[in-house]
Amino acid sequence: MSDAFRTWMKTTQADCEIALAEFLPAATVVPSRLHAAMRYAALDGGKRVRPLLVYAAGCLFGAPAGLLARAAAAVEMIHAYSLVHDDMPCMDDDALRRGKPTVHVQYDEATALLVGDALQAQAFLVLSEGAGDPGSKLAMLNLLAQASGSLGMCGGQAIDLASVGLALTREQLEQMHRLKTGALLRAAVLLGAMAGKQLSATETEALDSYAAAIGLAFQVVDDVLDASADSATLGKTAGKDAADNKPTYVSLLGLDASRQLAQQLCRDAHAALQPFGDSAQYLHDLADLIVQRQA
């Protein structure tokens, strides 16, 4: 990774934090406990992979900063809500997230449920406001809703729930992850690009290939880290997949083959970006980051 990329990443993460802080109601606004908990869930934590993808894809077609900030905040709010709900006792029952107590532990279960619900609404609210062509914004909202719903992230969660203790094939495992994490990562890439211009079929196809590769790579690396890193490094409970008897790439392919698969997917992602030339440099470097990350 180049110094230019590192600098861009730090700046963009800071921009995203500012955007999230601005687009969430202040903790002083009634109902203040709910707003404090929403900010606890969404601010000051996470690698901001999805916002980075939004901003990096925004570079392809010179998207305006204001619209990128809204798209980045919206995608991250959807991601944050999904973590709050996933951590609840009736789902993964996890007490630690991003090195902090999870929302239902820090507050209570009912508040965690409402925090997730309100963050989802806030995501659509943020993207429906501000400047920009109404037609493009409507298309962006449509994409975000698709990626979040029963044929996207929520659907992937449902398949995940149903698969605990089952011996999935590699194809079934891929389908689950394509929905569970892949759909929102893809949305992040496309939203950033759509903020710049209306995409041609060829452009969408190339970005889809890139997003599919990094989406899968992201999950393979997640599985590798869960099996090989410790909780302090991860900022969440390590080894949970095996303990929960969940199917993973590591349980299916083993650690070494999983690492090799991640490398191959990274090369696939790079190849998909060729049509965009130098304007895709940050997307290129983000694929490296996703595969090389240690947490």
Contact positions vs a second copy (CB under 8 A): 25, 29-31, 33-35, 38, 81-82, 85, 88, 90-91, 108-114, 116-118, 120-122, 124-125, 128-129, 134-135, 137-138, 141-142, 144-146, 148-152, 154-155, 157-159, 161-162
Least distance CB 50 / a second copy (angstroms) = 16
Q: Which is nearer to a second copy, 138 or 242 (CB)?
A: 138
Least distance CB 91 / a second copy (angstroms) = 5
Which residues are paired to 100 by β-bridges? 97
Q: Which is nearer to a second copy, 154 or 168 (CB)?
A: 154
Q: Which is nearer to a second copy, 120 or 219 (CB)?
A: 120
Instruction: Tell me the Ramachandran region of residue 129: left when phi exceeds 0, alpha when psi lies from -120 to 50, beta otherwise.
Output: beta
Burial of residue 91 (CB within 10 Å: 0-12, 13-18, 19+) is: middle
The SS3 call for residue 10 is helix
Torsion of CA 249, 254, 260, 264, to 10 degrees: -30
Q: Which is nearer to a second copy, 36 or 273 (CB)?
A: 36
Angle at 221 between CA 204 and CA 194, to 5 degrees: 20
Q: Which is nearer to a second copy, 86 or 208 (CB)?
A: 86
Least distance CB 172 / a second copy (angstroms) = 11
Which residues are paired to 96 by β-bridges? 101
Q: Which is nearer to a second copy, 178 or 284 (CB)?
A: 178
Q: Which is nearer to a second copy, 90 or 243 (CB)?
A: 90
Do residues 159 and 175 make contact, with C-beta atoms less than 8 angstroms apart? Answer: yes
Please spell the DSSP secondary structure of 188-255, one letter per residue: HHHHHHHTTSPPPHHHHHHHHHHHHHHHHHHHHHHHHHHHHS-HHHHTS-TTHHHHTT---HHHHH-H
Least distance CB 222 / a second copy (angstroms) = 20
Q: Which is nearer to a second copy, 106 or 128 (CB)?
A: 128
Least distance CB 135 / a second copy (angstroms) = 4
Least distance CB 132 / a second copy (angstroms) = 9
Which tokens go with 118?
A: 């309100």
Distance, in Å, from the CA atom of 112 to the CA atom of 117, rounded to the nearest integer, reads 9
Least distance CB 281 / a second copy (angstroms) = 32
Do residues 69 and 49 make contact, with C-beta atoms less than 8 angstroms apart? Answer: no
Within 10 angstroms of residue 117's Cβ, the number of other Cβ atoms is 14
Least distance CB 263 / a second copy (angstroms) = 30
